[in-house]
Structures are given as structure tokens and as C-alpha cells.
Amino acid sequence: MKKYAGICSAGIIILVWILHLAFWIQMPLDWKSPFLYLAILIQTHLYTGLFISSHDAIHGVVSKEHPRLNHAIGRFCATLFAFNNYTILRKKHHHHHAYVNTAEDPDVHQGNFFIWWFKFMFQYVHWTQILAMAITYNVLKIWFPMTNIILIWELPAILATLQLFYFGTYLPHRGEHEPGNKHQSRSQEKNHIWAFISCYNFGYHYEHHDKPYLPWWKLAEAKEQNSQISSR
């Protein structure tokens, strides 16, 4: 069953994302209800899960035994996440790992947070993605209220992009790193609950760069091992 864990993980995230979106996109919205804001946060977290699943597929760990299926799932997750281009993501992410925190790194641009975020976004946003989003938005408007589309479909995607950038790129790579840090990455303090909530364990970023073949749910185990080594 272990060999299907990646497929099951991605499948659950996709299914819950679809069901949660389908429920809230047609619901009457009450601005005074805390459940509306909770729904936005949950959908944001599920969007982040889609991207993390796509990222795991980039590293070939959604389905190691079936590479075509692995990349098909990764491409599907990337498409659900605001029509991201999986081919571009895959190429640039491998470049990030090969040239981390250098001038050739497409993800790292040391300096002002917002300038860095803009440059980060500029690396991955393609005109076809914007066109697909615009077409889909206008099609969805035929059946669903505009406010619902914006709050439940569009806004969580934007928030998830910020979440992924802040916890998965900015915090791990900003500033100077200790001499001898071969991965030019740092990890958050050990807190598995917060690590999952914040970015599916990608706050344990040194562990990811050290062992990119691990799926997101095994990064906590890698953090445990590193914590034990450092405490000796």
C-alpha cells in the first residue's frame, strides 16, 4: 500500500478541493458568518495542497513506479491551481535545486519582500494562464454568483500563492546562511502541526533540499532525525 501513498494523498486533496469548491461556490454568502472566512482559509489550504502535490510529482514521488501517471497527476494539480503550466514549473523548480540561492536560481531574489514576490510570480505566470482564468471566470458567471467565484475560487488561489512563497521560499532562503550550509536553506523550528498548517511541512525546507525524493508527509520524519542529530 505504501507505493500508492502519493497517489492517495494527491487524490484526497483533489477530491476535497473539488467538493469544497462545489459546495461554497453556489452557497448564499453571509458576510457576518465566521464560516465564510473559515471556508476561504480551508480552500486556500487545499490550493496549497494542490501545488505541493504537483511539486511532489515534479520530484517523481507521487508515483515512482509509474512516471507517466506521476506527471499526469502533477499536471492536473497544476492546472486546477489557476491553470499553472506544469512544464514551466518542472523546468524552473529543478533549476532552483541545481542553482539554489545563486544568480541562476529562478526562485530566489534577495531583497525587498514584495519585489521578491513579484519577481517570483513573474517567473511562472504565463499569458495562456491569464487567458484561461479569464475564460473560466466568464463561463462560471453563467451559473454562479460573481462574489462566490471571487471569494471561493480566485481569492484562495492568490492567498495560496502568497502562502507558498512566504513559507516555502522567502523564509527558508532569505538572507545569509551559515558557512557550510550546502543547500542554502533553513528550516522552521520543529512543530509538526504548524508545519502542516502553514505549508504542508515545507517549512522544513533544509530537509526537502537535502532529501528531495521524500514526499511532503515524510519531511516531518526527516526533521525529527535532524533534530536528534543536532541535539547530540
Nearest Cα to Cα of residue 16 among 80, 62, 83, 74: 80
The span from the CA of 91 to the CA of 62, in Å, is 17
Helix and strand counts by DSSP (H, E) for the chain:
12, 0
Domain-embedded: residue 187: no
Q: SS3 for 198?
A: helix
Q: What's the domain range around 104?
A: 2-177
Instruction: Give, to the nearest 10 degrees, the angle between helix 34-58 and helix 192-199.
Output: 90
Q: Position of cell 506527471?
A: 71
Q: How confident is the model at residue 9 (pLDDT cuts 50, 70, 90)?
A: very high
Q: Note the pLDDT of residue 220.
A: 92
Q: Is a pLDDT exceeding 80 seen at residue 226?
A: no
Domain-embedded: residue 184: no
Mean pLDDT, range 8-35, rounded to an integer? 95
Given a contact cutoff of 8 angstroms between Cβ atoms, the answer to whether 191 and 180 are in contact is no
Q: Note the pLDDT of residue 228.
A: 63
Q: How confident is the model at residue 230 (pLDDT cuts 50, 70, 90)?
A: low
Q: Which residues, at least 6 apart from 119, have a Cβ–Cβ distance to it below 8 Å?
A: 109
Domain-embedded: residue 210: no
DSSP H or E run through 228:
helix 219-230
> Which grid coordinates belong to 48?
496549497
Domain-embedded: residue 222: no
The span from the CA of 181 to the CA of 75, in Å, is 32
Handedness of CA 193, 120, 67, 212 (dihedral sign): negative
Number of domains in the chain: 1
Query: What pLDDT, in 10s, does the model give residues 36-86?
Result: 999 999 999 999 999 999 999 999 999 998 999 999 999 999 999 999 999
Domain-embedded: residue 95: yes
Query: What pLDDT, in 10s, does the model give residues 106-155?
Result: 888 888 888 888 888 878 888 888 899 999 999 999 999 999 999 999 99
Domain-embedded: residue 211: no
State how far the alpha carbon of 187 is from the alpha carbons of 42, 66, 100, 227, in Å: 24, 31, 15, 11
The span from the CA of 116 to the CA of 123, in Å, is 11
Phi, psi of 222 (to 5 degrees): -65, -35
Domain-embedded: residue 209: no
Instruction: Give, to the nearest 10 degrees, the angle between helix 67-80 and helix 34-58.
Output: 150
Nearest Cα to Cα of residue 124 among 102, 152, 157: 157
Q: Note the pLDDT of residue 1.
A: 60
